[in-house]
Chains A and B, each alone.
Chain A
């Protein structure tokens, strides 16, 4: 509630007399005073990012108190994995995040490989990199649609989500699945690229860039977007450590933390990934940063396609995966998803099943601690925009 005292709200000096009194640093909100209304945004609400909800207390149209409720998508993945063999975990984990399932697949396969001491062959590493980077593109396109849609620009959402569908077509060719790819099997990947894939992918990159130039015109440099997103949900550099903010949200606040650069995995150490940062920290800076990151992903995909080895094994020499036992140990494997640090902590006890698996999603703090802090003092009409600008994804919170 500390924000209440800083009365500056996007150049508009609000009348604070109707705001809650502060007592011992806590706001006193008396619902019976009829000054406040309690409303729920979600779970059945078009303005929330997925199946979650935010409990709000508003004063007029300004939010004075917010609380995130999650658990609508809790499927107990971690519990289920404890009673599944290692190989059986692999189809399960991609369901943790729908727009970007491949990061989960990579992390869980890499964690098993790390614990079992398996080295993935070169070609499979490149294919994994391609898959991960393509999934980032898909996720960013979805996000772009969401951010535009949250500001009422449904047409942009139509374009970008439509364009994502073409990327899903590529995924379908490559992996056999449209949304859930189940591609990165422990030890490698499941299939090589089909014939003519590279040409079609390059063609799609060109089409995506053409679309992005439209998005640039209609969204990034749109006066309306600027006026609504600038100054919204400012993340200060101090907050980054305090709240454990990661990914584009942290980079927009000046923290140069991109796992692809800091702790390179698969083939990112051989690729030219640039750290894109900003120092403004508001929703517009985050939007711009993601837009630039999307461009970088397109660059990376075409670079990966150029450097993709023609020949090579796609799976390491593996034991019988049905009876696969992994020696005892614990590990933490992380990867950069579009939302930030996405990691899997895995403990093995030498048996056929993992002892404990924990999926760390970037939204875990973004959608709860950070959102509850940033939502206060903004207009209720901006809440959807704020949630999308934090790129929250509820399934990775509750798993």
Chain B
């Protein structure tokens, strides 16, 4: 033992006069760090009640509960997380995973209670002393728990596609589809938004497990046209997708297409268990007018429920507006045929080239069949009615698209102006661009519409692709006059459109007459909306039939008109949208079933 060792501890006395570390008032002097994972906050204006926080919580600490004042609307379940602080471990995975970023943490960490039941609360709804705290843990933009980046879809390059009508989108392969399906968080918000209320999380989970048979069964529960829907659906579900709040929504439409593409048509009966349907045992017959999505959907569900069903179609092929209103590069005809061929194997008859009212009357159908479903679609065009719009070189987009599909020769001009900013306008623009390219080797087509670019009704990818194909798009211009010289169209006069709707939300465009422009054209296509052709309704029926003030047939929630035997659905009820048509057909089929059962 050295003396130094005995004495060295005494040296510490030199610290005796140092300032102590003691915190004077620990309860108030020590707020958590700016980044502290304290108690939870929830911003209700952002929260969509998707339940991902509940899903990731390894402690089962989070319940999703209804909260007063939170309505259930599209894309928001109206549920909010309730956190049990008898379970929470403050790992903040719920904060990191929250797709909207609504769930955050404050830096408060003191909560004393005598009663353990107090420790359950709904952040954002229950009053807490930390709810207005501005610091605390938030989701870092640098890390990802969920995958917000969509798997890129292979598309044919603009230079390879702008002359032909081959399909642009190639579709996912297995690896890509599983990768994309793994992004899904199974919240199910999309199901409510989908007009057909498809079990979207269900079939995506089946893709993830690589069980495509199950996926197809789920698809056919409420949608018998997956090939069509998988290509041209307006995919409202993707807008509701929780991932959309912080990145790309799940490619629900492409995944649906993937399922249908992978399974050959001849396997459908076996997978769906429709090989041995009841054969005319019910002895009830239903006529369907129109082989469009609504008609096919109604016919399919009627067929599997055992009804003898026959479809009457005015045009020479099935698909309705899906075939005659949508260009082939978006929806190849053989894919429509695949869905319809399967329908035919179930014993559904389709009689083409038969226009109701001309070849056979509605009364005859009524006499011959127990019920009639009419899904006749919107095949007529609407005119802008600007001066000069009655010229013979002013066309309707719907007519022109139909002509293209029918294979008729189109007299394509060198300079074309399309009026309209919806998807149909883009379709005709791009179709004409292709035809121009074939004929002249260059594209001189211009599309103009009232709406500003940000609010154009067409899908963004349509606009982008149209521009890739060298079409010019000039948004926010209102057509004023079609200039005609020597009986020939020379162009379109437009003036700047400032707003489309007035304060009440009515269509009432305002123009700045000072700003004018002239688009050169020798052919003009109007694509500002579609009208229905109800000429098949005879006068007697028209007199009995109840109509809405807007001129549509009034139907109940089963799409049954006031004539009990007549069911109406599809575009003529809901406006142009394929998935609504399919949903209408499905509901109407169930309605016909219950109507005939109760008769």
Chain A: residues with CB nearer than 8 A to chain B?
A: 84-85, 87-92, 162, 169, 172-177, 180, 182, 185, 187-192, 194, 214, 217-218, 221-224, 226-227, 313-315, 318-323, 325
Contacts and interface: CB of A to CB of B under 8 A. Distances in A.
Interface in B112-140: 137, 140
Closest 6 CB pairs of A and B: A91-B91, A88-B58, A223-B5, A320-B147, A315-B143, A176-B37
B183 A226 contact: no
Among A176, A177, A180, A318, the most chain B Cβ lie within 10 Å of the Cβ of: A176
Nearest to A123: B142
Contacts of B67: none
Contact of B56 (A172, A214, A322): A322
B143 A188 contact: yes
Contacts of A214: 11-12, 15
A91 B4 contact: no
A222 B15 contact: no
Given A172-B32, A313-B142, 16 more contacts: A89-B58, A91-B91, A175-B35, A189-B143, A190-B143, A217-B11, A218-B12, A223-B6, A318-B147, A320-B183, A321-B145, A322-B55, A322-B97, A322-B146, A322-B185, A323-B208
Main secondary structure of the interface of B (DSSP, over half): loop
Contact of B21 (A89, A162, A189, A224): A162
Interface residues of B, number: 43
A221 B5 contact: yes
Contact of A314 (B35, B143, B183): B143
A172 B144 CA distance: 21
B138 to A, nearest CB: 10
Contacts of A191: 35, 140, 142
Interface in B43-76: 52, 55-56, 58
Contacts of B9: 217-218, 222, 224
Interface in B1-41: 1-2, 4-6, 8-9, 11-12, 15, 21, 32-37
B35 A91 contact: no
A175 B11 CA distance: 37
7 contacts: A87-B145, A172-B32, A190-B96, A192-B142, A314-B143, A319-B147, A322-B146
B265 interface: no
Nearest to B14: A214
B93 A87 contact: yes
B58 A176 contact: no
Among B1, B11, B34, B93, the most chain A Cβ lie within 10 Å of the Cβ of: B93
Contacts of A91: 58, 89, 91, 93
A227 B137 CA distance: 50
Contact of B8 (A172, A175, A221): A221
A321 B58 CA distance: 13
Contact of A177 (B12, B58, B90, B147): B90
Contact of A182 (B4, B6, B8, B92): B92
Nearest to A312: B142
Contacts of A320: 145-147, 182-185
A176 B33 CA distance: 7
Nearest to A324: B182
A173 B8 CA distance: 37
B1 A226 contact: yes
B179 interface: yes
A88 B56 contact: yes
A194 B32 CA distance: 14
Contacts of A88: 56, 58, 93
Given A223-B2, A223-B5, A319-B179, A314 B142 contact: yes
Contact of A176 (B4, B12, B35, B143): B35
